[in-house]
Each structure stands twice: as structure tokens, then as C-alpha cells.
Chains A and B, each alone.
Chain A
Amino acid sequence: MDIEEVKQRAGPREFSPKDDMPEEYRKAATRMIQFHANSEIMGAYLEKPFIRQAPSLDRKLAFSAKVQDEIGHGQLLYRAAESLGIKTRDEMLDELAEGEGKFLNCFHYPMDSYVETPMIAFFVDGAAMRRQATLKSTSWEPYAHAMDKVCFEEGFHVKHGEAILYELMTGSKKEQEMTQEAFEEWWPRIIQFFGPTNDKSTHHGFASEVGLKQMGNDELRTAFLNAYIPKAEKYGLEIPDEPRISKNDDGTYEVVEEDLDWDEFFTIAKNDYEPGVGQIEGRKASQDAVEWVRESLDNHENRLYGSSQPQAAD
């Protein structure tokens, strides 16, 4: 299939491993899905400390289940990416460990306090839900299929985040103040989640033309703000003065782009942001520490099936 035909046919779940897709499409889809899969893993890494920090049994169970879900999403998405024939899962996991794999801006900022958890679990996950819901109709069928399960589970995560936010904002004065402070720190990052405006986004054009992306950054940001500004206010959070956000008559939002730190955003995008480097290296160190187990599993598989078989861990 050539690119022209791909563009003509590009509809929801139109292409699958049965189709002979051009390399340009397969590379673009791999980049997108790998980014998504990496984000699941790094999101899990970010939230993991709060399994321990959760202040009740129910919350502890929920955080553990959520982190587990994210790892499961990573597994599912790497599989969808592998089906494009560009990279294997091991290659993608290696790239992530080596700091070459890209992932969501918000997951480069470490979290120190429990009051930060709804910033991820409610706002960032809520933002991710917006984008992911549109990806159920992406043109790469295995990706869309993975989104069915991912979106279903993300729905629970957002509710979990919302419940924590509610609890904190109806808690003591101290809890409310700590939460507002965390919100002010995270709010600009959350707005940047959707990236720069469409005209500044490098990969937007092609991905839309071949049906990988279903909605642009601007539309998604507007939809998110429409839903989440009222929610934040409902729970008693004050929207910070910056970035300046104004609502147009047609219901869309205008974010003043120069109020946001795009240098930081693009430093993050290159995996050069210091705290984020710490996250990447922390995860790499823990993965290196269990390399001996993977070797041992590989040897086990080889003894059983011979070395030509792909490895399947337990």
C-alpha cells in the first residue's frame, strides 16, 4: 500500500497486521504507541511510592491496583507497537531505560507528597482519558483495540483520583491548603499536557492524515478545560492567574502560550530535564538489578525450546 492509498482509506480501525503498510506509516504509528506505552510505565513509576504512602487500606489497595493496571497497559501497548514490525518490546524497553524513549511531560516531575496524587490521578489521567477516548478510532486496529481496555480501566483511575481530591478538599484546613498549593504547581504542567498549539506540533499533520490521530491538541485542550475547570472549582480549588485562560463566545478556550514555560517543556521532551532524568535512571537501576533474572529465564526457555524461540517470561 502506498501513502496515498493509506490517506484515502484512513478510517477508524482500518489497518491491521494483515495489511501491507508503508514504512512511513509503521514508523509514525510505532513512535506514537511507544510514547504511550512508555508513559504508562513511567506513570506507574511515579505513583508507586504512594502505595506505601496511602493513608488507608482501601487507598493502598487502589494504588497498588492502579500501578498494576498501568504496567498492564504498558504490556498491551508494547504488543500493539510490536505488531508494526519496526521494534521489539525489548528494544523499546531498552530505549526507555537508556533515556531515548520519550514519555509524557507530567511524568518527568517527581511527586513528594500525598496531596499531589490527585494532580496525576484526577487531572492528568482525566486529560489522558480525553485523548485516549479519541484513540479508540485510530486507524491502527491493534492500538484501537488496546484502547478499549485501557479506557475502561482509566475510568476507574480518574474516579480514584477524584475521590482523593474530594477527601482532601473536605478535610482539614491544612489538607485543603496543601492541596491548593500542589494544584498551583501542577496546573501549568497539566495545561502543557496537550502540547503546543497545532501549528507548532511537529508530528501532528501526518499522524492526522493517516488516521492515527483523531483530534488535534487544541480541540483536546478545549474539551479538557471545559470539563475540568468547573470540576476543580466545584472541589474548592482556585484556578491560578497564570497561565491566563480566557473563554471565547463559541465555548473554546484561549490559553496565553507565553505564560507557559516552553523551554522546560522542550527540555523535558528531549529527556534532559534533571528531575526527570532521575526518574528514568532510577527505573533503569531497578531494571538492571534484575537483569540476572531475565538471563536466567532466557536460559530456562532455551533449555526447553532451543534458542530460536522467542522468550516468554512467566
Chain B
Amino acid sequence: MAAVEELSEPGSLSEEEREAVRHQLFRLADDEFVLAERYTEWQVKAPTLESDLAFSNIAQDELGHARLWYDLLQDWGAEESELIWERDPSEWRHSTLVELPFEEGDWSDPVLRSYLYDVAEDIQLRALQDSTYPRIRDRVGKILGEEDYHREHAASWLERLCEEDESRARVQDALDRLFPHALTLFAPTDEAVEDRIDELGIRSEPLVTMREEWLDEVVPFLESLGLSVDDAELPEQYDVHHSQLELPEHTGRDQSHTDDWFDLYDEFTRSYRELGRTSAARIMKDPDDE
């Protein structure tokens, strides 16, 4: 890639640059937030007290990462509540992988979902380590460290669950269901903006290259556990021009979502609405706080 110049401060970006940075940030922030929102469903419901503790930790890590990314989006004036609790659900950009609901007791799903996601996240974060946008670059290191542990956790659960036919069959079911949605992790928000993200050097690898890298890692691992990843066996899968064919109806990235997302959004914003905490009705600060 040709040498690219470092981008300037948030306030001095051109409109096109700003749009590219924001698309990249929403990809990251929305994924982490919605995934964590789903993960916390397993708290008090995991198979053992120990797995409950471990999974809670992971959910909190992801929430923390979401906060780091939303924080950068606040550089342009929006508050956290506006970015999360007041943003229209049809404007979110997370992959559909992270919004799908869990079926009661289907522990194979969060474990597999975590694996598919964490490998992808690792690849995406490494492509941001040399970002031309310094505020993204500075935050990558901390997150990468925690993701290593998440991946190890997920992989070791998968290994165990795949030791036996019965539990492996459950993982296979989850894989059949989740795999097309996992591919949306690499789907574009908007082709032109994604190209700009690459041209500006906000990330160092285009989506298609990262997707290939992801397939090269997850497919052999899953197959080594006796699982079958049908689509991925086809060489076309690696052909960028087929990408649209393999994706589910909604990719999330392009702001089209499954009904489950809108239900989830309604649930997590319920208290916020009940308490009347919309920006328009925001009350004065307590004078004692000044």
C-alpha cells in the first residue's frame, strides 16, 4: 500500500474523512455493545458457577471495549445516551451475528459465536494497529490483549463439546445457523465508504482480505473438531464476487437487521424510556453538583 498520511484531529477532518472514520467506529462499537448485550443473557444461566463467572467477565470486557469506541464517536459532540439509547435501531451497524437471540440452554451457541467473533475481531484489530487515525490506533493494544483470552476460552469449550457425538451435533446445528451471519462481520457498510476507509489507511487490510484470513483460520479449526463447514469448502467462497450470494438477507452492516434486533433494542431501552430520559426532557443539573 502506498504511504498514506496521518489523519488530523477529529474536528479538522474533511466531511469524507469523517464519514469514513465514523463508519469504522460504528462497525466496532455496535458489534461490541450488542454482543455484550446478548452475552449477559447467560449470567446466572450458564452451566456451572465457574462458567458463569468466566462468561460474565467476557461480557464486561466487550462492554468496556464498546465504551472505548463510543467514546471516540463522542468527539463529534454526541453523548453516549444519544449514540446508544436514543439512536434509531435502524441506524445501527453491527453484524447480524451479534444480534441473534439464544435458545434457552443452547450453550453451544454463545461458545461458537464467541469463537467466530473473536477470531474476526483479532484480525480486524490487527488491521487497525497502524491506522492513520491516531485515536483508533491508540486503543487497539489494550483490546487485543483481552481478546486473546476470549478466543482461548471459546476454543477450549468447543474442543470439549466436540469430543462427543451428541454435544458435537449441537455445535454443528449452531454452526449451520450462525455461519452465514458470521460472514456479515466482513460485509461492507457502504462499498464506497469502505473503499475510502482503505484508501485513507484507517485500516490496513480490506474486508475481503480479512475475510479470507478469517476463513483460513476458522475453517480448518472447526473441521479438526469434526464439524463441517459446507460453504467454505467451495473455492468460490474465497472469490470476492460471490460475497453477496453467501450472505443472509440482512447483513446488519448496511443497517438492515433481523426482527430480533428491534425486539432487543426495545427491551434494553425500556427503562430509559420509562424514566423519561430523552434529551429533550433532560432536567437541570442538581445545583449541589456544581
A114 touches B271 (CB 8 A): yes
Which residues of A lie under 8 Å from residue B64 when comparing CB positions? Answer: 61
The complex places the Cα of A293 from the Cα of B105 at a distance, in Å, of 9
Which residues of A lie under 8 Å from residue B1 when comparing CB positions? Answer: none
Closest residue on chain A to residue B40 by CB atoms = A51
B277 touches A64 (CB 8 A): no
Which one of A28-36, A148-156, A167-175, A217-225 is at the B interface?
A167-175
The complex places the Cα of A174 from the Cα of B273 at a distance, in Å, of 12
A68 touches B43 (CB 8 A): yes
Determine if A231 is an interface residue (Cβ-Cβ < 8 Å): no
Which residues of A lie under 8 Å from residue B43 when comparing CB positions? Answer: 44, 48, 51, 64, 67-68, 71
**CB contact under 8 A between A290 and B46, given known A68-B57, A114-B275, A314-B54:** yes
Determine if B51 is an interface residue (Cβ-Cβ < 8 Å): yes
Contact with A along B46-82 (1 / 0, CB 8 A): 1111111110110110011011001000000000110
Determine if A188 is an interface residue (Cβ-Cβ < 8 Å): no
Our pick among A67, A287, A296 for the contact of B160 (Cβ within 8 Å) is A296
Which one of A8-16, A192-200, A297-305 is at the B interface?
A297-305
B40 touches A296 (CB 8 A): no
A44 touches B105 (CB 8 A): no
A175 touches B275 (CB 8 A): yes
A60 touches B163 (CB 8 A): no
**CB contact under 8 A between A314 and B48, given known A55-B277, A57-B63, A286-B105:** yes
Interface residues on B, range: 35 or more
Which residues of A lie under 8 Å from residue B48 when comparing CB positions? Answer: 293-294, 297, 313-314
Which residues of A lie under 8 Å from residue B274 when comparing CB positions? Answer: 113-114
B80 touches A56 (CB 8 A): yes
Query: Could you tell me which residues of chain B, from 251 to 290, have a CB within 8 Å of some CB in chain A?
Result: 267-268, 270-272, 274-277, 281, 283, 286
Min CB–CB distance A307 → chain B (angstroms):
15
Which residues of B lie under 8 Å from residue A126 when comparing CB positions? Answer: none
Which residues of B lie under 8 Å from residue A296 when comparing CB positions? Answer: 160-161, 163-164, 166-167
Closest residue on chain B to residue A65 by CB atoms = B60
Which residues of A lie under 8 Å from residue B45 when comparing CB positions? Answer: 286-287, 289-290
A55 touches B53 (CB 8 A): no
Interface residues on A, range: 35 or more
Determine if A75 is an interface residue (Cβ-Cβ < 8 Å): yes
**CB contact under 8 A between A314 and B50, given known A48-B43, A61-B64, A292-B105:** yes
Which residues of A lie under 8 Å from residue B41 when comparing CB positions? Answer: 52
Our pick among B56, B160, B276 for the contact of A68 (Cβ within 8 Å) is B56
Which residues of A lie under 8 Å from residue B105 when comparing CB positions? Answer: 286, 288-290, 292
Which residues of B lie under 8 Å from residue A290 when comparing CB positions? Answer: 45-47, 105, 107
Our pick among B37, B50, B156, B160 for the contact of A52 (Cβ within 8 Å) is B37
Determine if A191 is an interface residue (Cβ-Cβ < 8 Å): no
Which residues of A lie under 8 Å from residue B60 when comparing CB positions? Answer: 61, 64-65, 68
Determine if A283 is an interface residue (Cβ-Cβ < 8 Å): yes
B47 touches A283 (CB 8 A): no
A57 touches B80 (CB 8 A): yes
The complex places the Cα of A287 from the Cα of B57 at a distance, in Å, of 20
Which residues of B lie under 8 Å from residue A41 when comparing CB positions? Answer: 44
Closest residue on chain A to residue B161 by CB atoms = A296
B44 touches A67 (CB 8 A): yes
The complex places the Cα of A286 from the Cα of B45 at a distance, in Å, of 6
The complex places the Cα of A289 from the Cα of B281 at a distance, in Å, of 43
The complex places the Cα of A172 from the Cα of B49 at a distance, in Å, of 39
Determine if B178 is an interface residue (Cβ-Cβ < 8 Å): no
Determine if A163 is an interface residue (Cβ-Cβ < 8 Å): no
Our pick among A52, A172, A289, A313 for the contact of B276 (Cβ within 8 Å) is A172
Which residues of A lie under 8 Å from residue B44 when comparing CB positions? Answer: 41, 44-45, 48, 67, 71, 283, 286
The 7 closest A-B pairs by CB, nearest first: A289-B105, A68-B56, A293-B47, A313-B48, A114-B271, A290-B47, A55-B272
Q: What are some 8 contacts across the A-B interface (CB < 8 A)?
A: A48-B43, A55-B85, A55-B275, A57-B70, A65-B56, A68-B57, A68-B60, A289-B104
Q: Which residues of A contact B (CB under 8 A)?
A: 41, 44-45, 48, 50-57, 60-61, 64-65, 67-68, 71-72, 74-75, 78, 113-115, 168, 170-172, 174-175, 178, 283, 285-290, 292-294, 296-297, 299-300, 303, 313-314
Give 12 A-B pairs besides A52-B41, A285-B104, A297-B160 with Cβ atoms closer than 8 angstroms: A45-B44, A48-B40, A48-B44, A52-B268, A55-B81, A60-B63, A72-B53, A113-B271, A289-B104, A290-B105, A296-B161, A314-B160
Q: Which residues of B contact A (CB under 8 A)?
A: 37, 40-41, 43-54, 56-57, 59-60, 63-64, 66-67, 70, 80-81, 84-85, 104-105, 107, 156-157, 160-161, 163-164, 166-167, 170, 267-268, 270-272, 274-277, 281, 283, 286
